[in-house]
Amino acid sequence: MIDSMDDLQPLCNSDDLLDAGRAVPFDVVYSGQTCRAFAVRFQGVAHAYLNRCTHVAMELDWQPNRVFDATGRWLLCASHGAAYLPDTGQCAGGPCRGGLVKIQLVDKGGVLYWQSAYNLKPLQF
Domain of 102, CATH number, reads: 2.102.10.10
Domain count, the chain: 1
pLDDT at 97: 84
**Which residue segment(s) compose the domain that 49 sits in?**
5-117
Q: What is the mean pLDDT of the chain?
A: 93
125 lies in a domain? no
Distance CA 110, CA 101 (A): 24
Predicted confidence (pLDDT) at residue 3 exceeds the cutoff of 60: no
Tell me whether residue 37 is in a domain.
yes
The whole model's pTM is what? 0.93
For a pLDDT cut of 70, what percent of the chain falls above it? 95
Q: Is residue 123 part of a domain?
A: no
Sheet of 102-103, strands arranged across: 102-103, 45-50, 33-42, 24-30, 120-121
Instruction: Indicate whether 25 belongs to any domain.
Output: yes
pLDDT in tens, 49-71: 999 999 888 999 999 999 999 99
Classify residue 72: in a domain, yes or no: yes
Structural domain contains residue 107: yes
Residue 119 pLDDT class (50, 70, 90 cuts): very high
- Return the half-sphere exposure (C-beta side, CA atoms, 13 A cut-off) of residue 7: 14
